[in-house]
Amino acid sequence: QVQLVESGGGLVQAGDSLRLSCAATGRTFSSNIMGWFRQAPGKEREFVATISRNGDTTYLTDSMKGRFTLSRDNAKNTMSLQMTSLKPEDTAVYYCAARTQGATSMSVREFEYSYWGQGTQVTVSS
C-alpha cells in the first residue's frame, strides 16, 4: 500500500513559479513509477508528467516541457513538480499518483495508476 499526500499548491499570478510536492508512505516508493495529473474545472483529469523509479527518466506533455520539471528523492519518499512561467490555463487540482510496485514502464494513462493523493489546488490569475 502507498499513501500519497500533495502539498505546495496555492494562488499565484501568471508568470510565477510554484513547487508541488508529493510525500509517500510505505517502503516501496523507490519501486513505484510516479506521475502527476491535473483536473481543471469542468474538465476531465489529464496527464501532466511521469518519472521512472530511479528518477533518471521523465516524460511531460508538450505544453509543460520547458516550464515544468519533475524529480524525486527516493531516500525521502518524495516527488516534486517544479512549475515555472505559470499560465491561467494551468489552473487545476493537481494529483500525485503511483503505479503498483510491479509496473516497469512509465505511463500517461490514468487507469494504470493504482494510488492517488487527495490533490492540491493551483490557481493562476491573469
- Position 106 scores a pLDDT of 96
pLDDT of residue 39: 98
Write down the pLDDT at residue 21.
98
- Per-residue confidence (pLDDT) for residue 1, from 0 to 100: 81
pLDDT at position 11 is: 98
Three-class SS state of 111: helix
Q: Which residues, given as ranges, of the chain have pLDDT below 50?
A: none
pLDDT for 32: 95
The pLDDT of residue 87: 97
Strand spans (E) along the chain:
3-7, 10-13, 18-25, 34-39, 46-51, 58-60, 68-73, 78-83, 92-98, 115-116, 120-125
Task: Look at residue 58 in the predicted model and tell me its pLDDT.
Answer: 97
